[in-house]
Structure 1
Amino acid sequence: MADAFVSFAVQKLGDFLIQQVSLRKNLRKEIEWLKNELLFIQSFLRDAELKQSRDQRVQQWVFEINSIANDVVAILETYSFQAGKSASRLKACACICRKEKKFYNVAEEIQSLKQRIMDISRKRETYGSLYQLKFLRFRGIHDLPSSIGNLKNLQTLVFDPVRYTFQLPSETVDLINLRHLVARYSEPLAHISKLTSLQVLERVCCDQWKDVDPVDLVNLRELSMLDIRKSYSLNNISSLENLSTLTLFCRGDESFPSLEFVNCCEKLQKLWLRGRIEKLPHLFPNSITIMVLQNSGLTEDPMPILGMLPNLRNLDLFRAYEGKEIMCSDSSFNQLEFLILYGLENLERWDLVTSAMPLIKGLGVDDCPNLKEIPERMKDVELLKRNYNKW
């Protein structure tokens, strides 16, 4: 029941923000805070309502939240009713004064509600088992409230924002047990290196990573980064000694900066690079087993370099090469099992010596209109469809 009250209050707050376009900036900010905080609390309510019959503390917490939600609706409806009455009066000046006074009254009431929420948030015993939450996923809210830092046992935080990016509160770094952070945030998260338990960091924008000193992120195993530009340096990634999965996406048609740092990631197993590569590094870690090169725009045949990787099992070239010929030389790709060539529009010839790719199990060739034929030995290999959910 409380979940329904909170949902209705959130809807009322959203409608109020839309209808009252002339709200003062500070008041609008306070109302947005209240709306986001109630959305945050709502994510706990279903679990809390199931447990309130067994825990008096949780029961009291649900009651207080229900009371706040009801008060929110009452305040907004009272203001809307009075504003409607004022609109029909003839004296414009007096109407404006009354409107300003009503906004002031609403601001006072909102401040009171904000204080009540902050008070119950500080009562850890009221939250009870909520502090044991380990997985939390948000959808449909613009920003996380600062109270997220209270969930000390949280291990996984996934944020699907309404906007393209959003801002994480500084209190996020207080989540000392956080292992998985999936969030595309718009402002640098200061002191992210304090999250020493972090194992997976996904969707981080390069703007927010470029000044990070990741030396203390000793447990980070998976990193995916977006909006990379050629002017940035990615060399600090080499400090991640236990990194095993790395996904790097450039912004639009941007080129990668130097990728020489990749060879320093000695435990790297999975590598996905999307963006133009002006020069493919001559050395990659021998540990790599899966590689995807996408929209790379390479002009030199990448096969001589990639064929020397001793543990490479999956290779996907998606619009990665603009040349006319690829050559797989003697004893290359010794462990390769699956190969996909997609969108190599200029490719005309594929030379494959007998001893290359001895373990190949699957082959996908698509949108290579100028390729005259595939090597004879590949004609009996199982055909594959392109699939980017490799990891």
Structure 2
Amino acid sequence: METSNSSFQKVGSQRDARSTTVVGYDEDARILIEKLKGGRKQLQFISVFGMAGLGKTTLVRKVFTEPLIEYHFHVRAWTTVTQEPKKRDLLLGILKSGFDVDNKNESDMELRATLKRRLSGQRYLVVMDDIWDSKDWNDLMLCFPDDNLGSRIVFTSRLADVPFKVHPGCYKYPLRFLSHEESWNLLRYRVFLEDSCPTSLIKIGQEIARNCKGLPLSLVVMAGILASDQTANWWNQVGEDTSSNVSNAPEQHMKTVELSYKHLPNHLKPCFLYFAAFPEDYEIPAWKLILLWMAEGLIKTTQTTEKFPEDEENSLEKVAAGYLNNLISRSLVMVSKTGSNGGIKACIVHDVLRDFCIQRASKANFLQQLPRYQLHVSNTPTKSTVKRVYSGSDSEKNFILELTRYFQLENLFSPYETLLNKSTDSLKVNTILCCNASLSFYADCYDFYALGAFRVLRVLDLSGTGLSNVPHVMVSLLTLRYVALCIKPVDDHRGFVDLSLPNSMNSLIFLETLIVHNRKENGIHVPYETWMLNRLKHLILRGNIVHQDIPDSQMHCLSNLKTVSTQIPLDQCKKILEYTPNLRKLGIRAALYLSSTKLRIPNLDKLQHLENLSLQNDLNPGYDLTDNLLHRELTSPFMFPATLKKLTLVCTFLKWDEMEQIGMLPNLEVLKLQCEAFRGEKWETTDGGFCRLKHLAFKFIKFVQWSAYSEQFPNLQHLKMDECTQLEEIPIGIGDIYTLERIEIRNCNYAVVQSAHKIIEDQLNKGNDFLKISVFQGMQTSV
């Protein structure tokens, strides 16, 4: 069940062309493509190295996504190596990227065996981005078989000596600085795209480009400054600032970033510095970033009240989305993933920009890194003035204990003693962040007592801490607005295990966001008091969740609630939806059939603002259904609100005839069908539907034939086929859809791949070279 794409996340409905186009390095890309495709059939190694900000990752990513490379290699995988890498995370990253599998339950030895088995007999391309030490590779080298098929492994590194240590035959490619002409072309493109530069700006623009010394990162950041004001006076002022402050020395990168930060509007500065709280190379979910900004009070609006009408353009969510778009347009933040609706799904900041945020945030006492960064920063704020603290370590340490030691709270043994202890009166901490979910910190109930000392806490994000218990002490933190927890299995936990949210959850009267991810087999119990939080806007409960029955006398209108995503019994869900009229995103995981052959879901007629709906039938798709239950039906042709823009169905076992009703939804843009959402051998698409559909995705759908024409999907942009192993072909008419940009095929049978190539050939013969095809065949030996 997806929970991350809330309606407010549609920031930048079209991807910023500036961030997706590579200017310069065309010859470098050509050389690398030749090295990847040509040469010996033995496994070969290629290292692209150079200083930070030179564009190593950008160049390799450009080559990695080239259609020729996509077609040439059976498997392509990309993983980023941090300065403190974990072998397990690298293995998981390669498996997730190359095969779209999640093997988190396997041991390290099993992961190595799985990766080697998956790569055997394949022509594979693996990129290890930003490698710092050859031992990072040496720990993994036995996982990569050499089957004489032309497989390649590419490293990017800032260190020139790494390729020598990785493999004596490694092809070393030092990345050069851009020429003056290339620098000007890049700067000009990032500011004006395809438009021409005004004559009055050319001379000063070329001078600014020359002062960036051929460093792409400096040019990109500088373009963000110049794009904000395209007047000669402004460009001359920027030119004077850069004439002596920018060079190709590593320590001078900060001068360029400093200049860009200096010219940021005041309301964007704290939002930019907030990126210091996220780990190196961490892809930050846009929805999470926006919710954190809001909880921190960083989003400013012209409105004087806290309550906004549903259709009010100046709502906090839309203002926050605008902030993120602004930072992206200024080239301070990069888009790393886009959602199926074209919005920004995740973002990331360059290492140099993150380093700047860390230094400036600490200096300004905006964010304090724990447990180690304060040792390297002069003028460290006193503990009584620290406002926000976050995890600064990628190693397996108990973040809660580190926090306790830093604030000298070791002698607090219970929440009661914590609240009475006068030594904590001076603590002004508003935020505690440990949000890298790939880390493995562990803490149990005894560790949490000291949290009660932080009496003015607004944000408690422990999603990167492997909790063995739910921290009940949080209900004493009455100012909380945002809570995120992750409960994980622990082999050697201490003491009593409590997997229940506290009954007094309703004491958190200011709470707006509650996120709990349960990775244990045992269910987390959610008391009915949770549904009594009047200000709650986003409730996201993942994993095995057990809801306490809600007494009718306790139900009241939750007009602020916009997002609900949880596993919940159907009868309780029906009761809740009666009191949540303003929901925009709803994710339901429940037994949707019981003994009936009709799809049983709550009445959604009252949800006049619902845009995103995910229905997951809590039944294994491999369940041996009896003949009379082979196909299911919708209970009503009008069961889905007309406002729906995105619909995801999982394990619903509907008949293909029911698709006609879904196609008539007037605003539907995204349709995802997973794990036998529909059953039957043939889908004959009917006319008159899917008038606005842009994204159509199938995963584990067992249909054999699909009959469709271009007129039936007039606005389709992206077709995705994943694990559709029985489908014979993609309809040839799909290629005639004028708006279609990409067909993506992952682990389907060879006939589907062939039909996709026939579509491409047919379109090329008609003069259409716009349509692209991506093929990922991790389980097949030929494409």
TM-score when scaled to structure 2?
0.32
Q: How many residues align?
A: 294
Q: Distance in 1 between matches of 2:652 and 2:696?
A: 17
1:223 is aligned to 2:537: no
Provide the residue aligned with 1:273 in structure 2. Answer: 615
Provide the residue aligned with 1:141 in structure 2. Answer: 443
Q: Distance in 2 between matches of 1:67 and 1:201?
A: 26
Identity of aligned residues (%): 16
Provide the residue aligned with 1:242 in structure 2. Answer: 582
1:174 is aligned to 2:530: no
Provide the residue aligned with 2:718 in structure 1. Answer: 362
Provide the residue aligned with 2:45 in structure 1. Answer: none
Which of the numbers 181, 187, 201 marks the counterpart of 2:500?
A: 187
1:293-332 aligned within 5 A: 293-299=649-655, 301-319=657-675, 320-332=677-689
8 Å CA contact retained: 1:307, 1:328 = no
Deviation string for 1:268-323 (max 9, x for gaps)? 22233333476545412222222222233335544123212222111111122222
Please identify, of 167-176 and 203-212, the stretch whose mean Cα deviation from structure 2 is larger: 203-212
Change (3 A) 1:186 1:353: same
Change (3 A) 1:321 1:167: same
| Superposition deviation, residue 360 in structure 1 | 0.5
| Superposition deviation, residue 340 in structure 1 | 1.0
1:21-60 aligned within 5 A: 54-55=381-382, 57=384
Change (3 A) 1:292 1:298: same
Three-state SS of the structure 1 residue aligned to 2:528 is: coil
1:1-391 aligned within 5 A: 54-55=381-382, 57=384, 65=405, 114=413, 118=418, 122-127=422-427, 129=428, 131-133=429-431, 135-137=433-435, 139-143=441-445, 145-149=448-452, 150-162=454-466, 166-169=469-472, 171-172=474-475, 174-184=477-487, 186-203=499-516, 208-209=525-526, 211-212=528-529, 214=531, 216-221=533-538, 223-227=540-544, 228=567, 233-238=572-577, 239-249=579-589, 258-276=600-618, 280=634, 282=636, 283-299=639-655, 301-319=657-675, 320-345=677-702, 347-352=703-708, 355-380=711-736, 381=740, 382-384=742-744
Change (3 A) 1:48 1:197: farther
8 Å CA contact retained: 2:709, 2:733 = no
| Superposition deviation, residue 351 in structure 1 | 3.5
Provide the residue aligned with 1:10 in structure 2. Answer: none
| Superposition deviation, residue 190 in structure 1 | 1.9
Provide the residue aligned with 1:9 in structure 2. Answer: none
Three-state SS of the structure 2 residue aligned to 1:384 is: strand
Deviation string for 1:124-154 (max 9, x for gaps)? 3342x3x232645493213462443534332
Q: Which runs of 5+ in 2 are unaligned?
A: 1-367, 387-401, 488-497, 545-566, 595-599, 620-631, 747-783
Deviation string for 1:223-261 (max 9, x for gaps)? 3443336576322441333332333445xxx65774224
8 Å CA contact retained: 2:434, 2:465 = no
Q: Distance in 2 between matches of 1:55 and 1:125?
A: 14
Change (3 A) 1:210 1:172: closer
Amino acid at match of 1:125: D
Change (3 A) 1:374 1:212: farther
Change (3 A) 1:224 1:256: farther
Three-state SS of the structure 2 residue aligned to 1:233 is: helix
Q: Distance in 1 between matches of 2:724 and 2:407?
A: 64
Three-state SS of the structure 1 residue aligned to 2:734 is: helix
Provide the residue aligned with 1:98 in structure 2. Answer: none
Three-state SS of the structure 1 residue aligned to 2:484 is: strand
Q: Distance in 2 between matches of 1:207 and 1:262?
A: 27
Q: Distance in 2 between matches of 1:284 and 1:357?
A: 20
Q: Distance in 2 between matches of 1:335 and 1:187?
A: 43
Three-state SS of the structure 1 residue aligned to 2:443 is: coil
Q: Distance in 2 between matches of 1:242 and 1:384?
A: 35
Q: Distance in 2 between matches of 1:132 and 1:162?
A: 22
8 Å CA contact retained: 1:173, 1:191 = no
| Superposition deviation, residue 361 in structure 1 | 0.9
Deviation string for 1:20-72 (max 9, x for gaps)? xxxxxxxxxxxxxxxxxxxxxx996557776985538579xx9x958979xx9
Q: Distance in 2 between matches of 1:225 and 1:336?
A: 28
Three-state SS of the structure 2 residue aligned to 1:145 is: helix
Change (3 A) 1:241 1:299: same
Change (3 A) 1:353 1:281: farther
8 Å CA contact retained: 1:270, 1:288 = yes
Amino acid at match of 1:341: F
TM-score when scaled to structure 1?
0.59
Change (3 A) 1:309 1:113: closer
Q: Distance in 2 between matches of 1:68 and 1:174?
A: 19
8 Å CA contact retained: 1:348, 1:371 = yes
Three-state SS of the structure 1 residue aligned to 2:697 is: strand
Q: Distance in 1 between matches of 2:729 and 2:517?
A: 42
Change (3 A) 1:352 1:199: farther
Q: Distance in 1 between matches of 2:709 and 2:611?
A: 27
Provide the residue aligned with 1:13 in structure 2. Answer: none
| Superposition deviation, residue 359 in structure 1 | 0.3
8 Å CA contact retained: 2:608, 2:641 = yes
Amino acid at match of 2:686: S
Amino acid at match of 1:289: K
Amino acid at match of 1:297: F
8 Å CA contact retained: 2:633, 2:654 = yes
Q: Distance in 2 between matches of 1:173 and 1:261?
A: 37
Three-state SS of the structure 1 residue aligned to 2:425 is: helix
Q: Distance in 1 between matches of 2:419 and 2:479?
A: 23
Change (3 A) 1:379 1:286: same
RMSD between aligned residues: 4.3
Change (3 A) 1:172 1:183: farther
Q: Distance in 1 between matches of 2:474 and 2:510?
A: 16
